[in-house]
C-alpha cells in the first residue's frame, strides 16, 4: 500500500543502473544530448543572461562548484540549476511529455549536483531516468485537470522530477525521499497567463522548479519532514492543482514497468510543441506545391481543442516578443509559408509586413475528433485554387533515434558558441557518458 509519495520514493530509492533496459539508457542519452544542444543553441537569447545577472545580484556567481553553461563561470548547484534550466528552456525546443517539459526541470539540477559531487556518468544517467519517470508519473493523468485551471504543467509536475533526480544523487534514504517529494508538492507553482501575455515568466518557472526541486532534496537530507499525504490529502497537491483526487492509483501503477521516458517527444523546431505539426505541414505544402505567400487568400488550421484553446495558440498579435510568436499558430504557419523555414531569427520578425498580413488570414478551428499533434491545413489562393494537407502523427514520430538526433543537433550548430569540432566532442561524450568517472568532464566540453 502506502501513499503516492511513499510509492514514488520506493521506486527512486530502489532503482539501480543495472535495472535499466538498454532502450531506456539509450533514450536517456538522446534526451541529454537534445537538452544540452538546445541549451547551447539558446545562448544568444536574453533569458539566461537575465537569470545569471539575477544570480550575480544575489552573490551566487563565482566561487561555487557547479558550472553556468551560459558563460562557463561557477555558481552554487542551486544557482546553476536555476540558470541552466532557463537556458535549457530559452529556445523552446526542449523535450516534452504531453505538456510537461521534463528535460529543463530534470537535467539541470542533476547535472549541477553531479558535477559538484563529481558523480559518475552511471549515477548521473540513473538520476535522469528517475527524474523523468517521476515527473511523467505525477502529471500523466492529471494535466487534463490542472491545465484548464491555469496551472503550468512543466513547473507543477517538473519539480517532482527535479527532487527525485537530486534525491537519487544525494543518496537519500527512502524516508528522506518521501520528505523531498513532500516538499516538492509544497513548493509547486506556475500559471499559463504568461502565454496569453507573451511575456517571460514561463522560462523562469522551469528555472525555479529545477532549483526548488534540488532544494527540496537538500532539505530532506538535513532532516526536514513533510506530510506523507502531500499528494492525496484533503488539502494536498492534487486537490489544489487538479481539483480532484481521482485516478491516483494510476500515478504509480506503471513505475519501472512502462518507462515513460520512452514516450518523451523531441522538437524539430524552436516553437511550442503544439505548433510542431502545423509548421511541418505548412513547410511540406510549400515545398510540394511551390505556393507563394503573396498568392494566399486564406489559411484554415484544424487542431485538437486542447491545443487550439491553449493560452497564446490562437493569437494574431500584435507581437513584440518571441514568447508570443512561438506560441502563436497563425504566426508560426505564416512564417513557414513566407520563408520556407522556421528559425529563432524568423520568430523575432515582429513587424514583418508579409508575415503579419498572412497572420490575419489564418483561422484556427478546434476539431473535437482530432488527436493531439495531428493537423489539417487548407489554403485558398486569390485565383481560386485550394491546397489541403493533413498530417496524422504516429506515436513515435517525434521520438528520434540517436542518429536522427545527431542530425538535428548539428542543424542547431550555427546558433551555438561551440565550433563544429567541439560539438562533435560533446556528442561523443554523451554517447559514452556511462563510462565517464566524473561528470565534470562532460560539463567541461559543453561550456563555451
pLDDT, tens only, 313-357: 999 999 999 999 999 999 999 999 999 999 999 999 999 999 999
- HSE-CB at 212 with a 13 A cutoff on CA atoms is 22
Q: What does the radius of gyration of the chain's CA atoms come to, in whole angstroms? A: 21
Q: Cell 494535466 maps to which residue? A: 143
- Mean pLDDT over residues 425-443, rounded? 97
Burial (CB count <10 Å: 0-12, 13-18, 19+), residue 56: middle
Q: E-strand spans in 284-394? A: 296-303, 362-366, 375-381, 386-391
63 pLDDT tier (thresholds 50, 70, 90): confident
Residues of the chain above pLDDT 90, percent? 98
What are 392's three cell numbers? 496524422
Other CB atoms within 10 A of residue 387 CB: 16
62 pLDDT tier (thresholds 50, 70, 90): confident
Per-residue pLDDT, 448: 74
pLDDT in tens, 401-431: 999 999 999 999 999 999 999 999 999 999 9
Q: How far is CA 197 from CA 191, 193, 194, 307, 313, in A?
A: 12, 6, 5, 17, 11
Other CB atoms within 10 A of residue 435 CB: 10
| Closest to 388 in 3D by CA, of 375, 398, 397 | 375
- Domain assignments of the chain as residue spans, ordered by start: 4-268+399-446, 273-391
| Closest to 38 in 3D by CA, of 328, 400, 354 | 400
What sign does the dihedral 266-271-276-280 (CA atoms) show? Answer: negative
| Closest to 38 in 3D by CA, of 88, 102, 100, 84 | 88
Is pLDDT at 136 greater than 80 in this prediction? yes
Query: Counting runs of H as helices and runs of E as strands, what totals does the chain give?
Result: 22, 6
Q: Tell me how far apart the alpha carbons of residues 121 and 48 are, in angstroms, rounded to a whole number.
A: 26
Q: Tell me how far apart the alpha carbons of residues 430 and 426 are, in angstroms, rounded to a whole number.
A: 6
Q: Tell me how far apart the alpha carbons of residues 75 and 397 are, in angstroms, rounded to a whole number.
A: 38
Q: Tell me how far apart the alpha carbons of residues 135 and 127 are, in angstroms, rounded to a whole number.
A: 12
b/e sequence 170-198, b meaning 16+ C-beta within 10 Å: bebeeebbbbbbbbbbbbbebbbebbbeb
pLDDT in tens, 11-48: 999 999 999 999 999 999 999 999 999 999 999 999 99
- Which letter does DSSP use for residue 370 in this model? P
Per-residue pLDDT, 218: 98
pLDDT in tens, 354-403: 999 999 999 999 999 999 999 999 999 999 999 999 999 998 999 999 99
Per-residue pLDDT, 295: 96
Q: Tell me how far apart the alpha carbons of residues 250 and 214 are, in angstroms, rounded to a whole number.
A: 26
**pTM score:** 0.96
Per-residue pLDDT, 166: 98
| 57: Cα separation from own chain's centroid | 27
Q: Which CATH number fits the domain 4-268+399-446, given the four candidates 1.10.10.10, 3.40.50.300, 3.60.20.30, 1.10.4100.10?
A: 1.10.4100.10
Q: Cell 556567481 maps to which residue? A: 61
Per-residue pLDDT, 183: 98
pLDDT in tens, 177-231: 999 999 999 999 999 999 999 999 999 999 999 999 999 999 999 999 999 999 9
Q: What is the per-residue DSSP string for 112-124?
A: HHHHHHT--HHHH
Is pLDDT at 1 greater than 80 in this prediction? no
CATH code for the domain defined by 273-391: 3.30.1330.120
Task: Provide the 3-class DSSP secondary structure of residue 15.
Answer: coil
Amino acid at each position: 500500500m502506502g501513499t503516492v509519495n511513499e510509492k514514488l520514493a520506493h521506486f527512486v530509492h530502489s532503482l539501480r543502473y543495472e535495472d535499466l533496459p538498454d532502450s531506456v539508457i539509450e533514450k536517456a542519452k538522446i534526451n541529454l544530448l537534445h537538452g544540452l544542444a538546445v541549451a547551447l543553441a539558446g545562448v544568444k537569447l536574453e533569458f539566461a543572461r537575465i537569470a545569471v545577472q539575477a544570480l550575480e545580484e544575489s552573490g551566487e556567481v563565482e566561487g561555487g562548484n557547479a558550472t553556468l553553461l551560459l558563460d562557463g563561470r561557477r555558481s552554487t548547484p542551486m544557482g546553476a540549476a536555476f540558470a541552466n534550466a532557463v537556458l535549457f528552456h530559452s529556445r523552446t525546443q526542449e523535450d516534452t511529455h504531453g505538456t510537461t517539459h521534463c528535460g529543463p526541470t530534470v537535467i539541470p539540477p542533476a547535472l549541477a549536483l553531479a558535477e559538484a559531487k563529481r558523480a559518475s556518468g552511471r549515477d548521473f544517467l540513473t538520476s535522469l531516468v528517475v527524474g523523468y519517470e517521476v515527473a511523467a508519473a505525477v502529471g500523466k493523468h492529471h494535466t487534463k485537470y490542472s491545465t484548464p485551471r491555469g496551472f503550468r504543467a512543466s513547473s507543477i509536475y517538473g519539480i517532482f522530477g527535479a527532487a527525485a533526480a537530486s534525491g537519487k544523487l544525494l543518496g537519500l534514504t527512502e524516508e528522506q525521499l518521501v520528505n523531498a517529494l513532500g516538499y516538492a508538492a509544497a513548493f509547486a507553482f506556475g500559471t499559463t497567463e504568461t502565454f496569453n501575455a507573451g511575456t517571460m515568466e514561463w522560462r523562469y518557472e522551469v528555472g525555479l522548479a529545477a532549483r526548488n526541486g534540488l532544494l527540496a532534496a537538500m532539505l530532506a537530507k538535513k532532516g526536514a519532514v513533510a506530510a506523507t499525504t502531500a499528494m492525496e490529502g484533503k488539502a494536498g497537491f492534487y486537490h489544489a492543482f487538479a481539483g480532484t483526487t481521482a485516478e491516483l492509483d494510476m500515478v504509480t501503477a506503471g513505475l519501472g514497468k512502462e518507462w515513460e521516458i520512452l514516450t518523451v517527444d523531441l522538437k524539430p523546431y524552436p516553437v511550442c510543441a503544439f505548433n510542431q505539426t502545423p509548421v511541418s505541414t505548412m513547410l511540406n505544402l510549400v515545398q510540394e506545391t511551390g505556393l507563394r505567400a503573396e498568392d494566399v487568400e486564406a489559411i484554415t488550421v484544424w487542431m485538437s481543442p486542447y491545443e487550439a484553446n491553449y493560452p497564446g495558440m490562437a493569437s494574431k498579435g500584435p507581437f513584440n516578443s518571441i514568447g508570443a510568436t512561438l506560441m502563436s499558430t497563425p504566426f508560426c504557419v505564416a512564417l513557414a509559408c513566407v520563408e520556407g523555414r522556421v528559425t529563432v531569427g524568423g520568430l523575432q520578425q515582429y513587424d514583418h509586413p508579409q508575415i503579419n498580413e498572412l497572420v490575419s488570414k489564418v483561422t484556427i478551428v478546434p476539431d473535437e475528433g482530432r488527436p493531439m499533434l495531428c493537423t489539417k491545413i487548407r489554403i485558398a489562393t486569390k485565383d481560386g485554387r485550394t491546397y489541403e494537407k493533413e498530417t496524422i502523427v504516429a506515436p513515435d514520430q517525434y521520438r528520434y533515434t540517436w542518429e536522427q538526433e545527431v542530425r538535428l543537433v548539428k542543424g542547431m550548430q550555427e546558433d551555438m558558441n561551440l565550433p563544429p569540432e567541439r560539438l562533435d566532442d560533446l556528442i561523443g561524450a554523451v554517447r559514452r557518458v556511462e563510462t565517464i568517472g566524473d561528470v565534470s568532464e562532460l560539463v567541461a566540453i559543453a561550456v563555451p
